[in-house]
Amino acid sequence: MTEENVIKLDTKGLKCPLPVIRVKKAITGIEIGQIIEVESTDPGSMADFKAWARATGHELLAAEEQGSVFFYRIKKAK
């Protein structure tokens, strides 16, 4: 996967459920196998994205916290 195929989404400052809603909207516009990288400052986003990925079948490749920012890599599965 080349870096230009990665979609970057900044949801910093948004509270639940907006980060997930933004990703849900963005993922409909990309191809299967493409990746969305998300940055969030919502502490609840860690549980939200894990649950959303399980429910939708998309692959959560990475979920990590760096200070007050949470980073996610989500691969579109279908």
As annotated, the active-site residues are 16
CB 71 within 8 Å of CB 37: yes
The total of other beta-carbon atoms located within 10 Å of residue 56's CB is 16
The residue type at 40: S
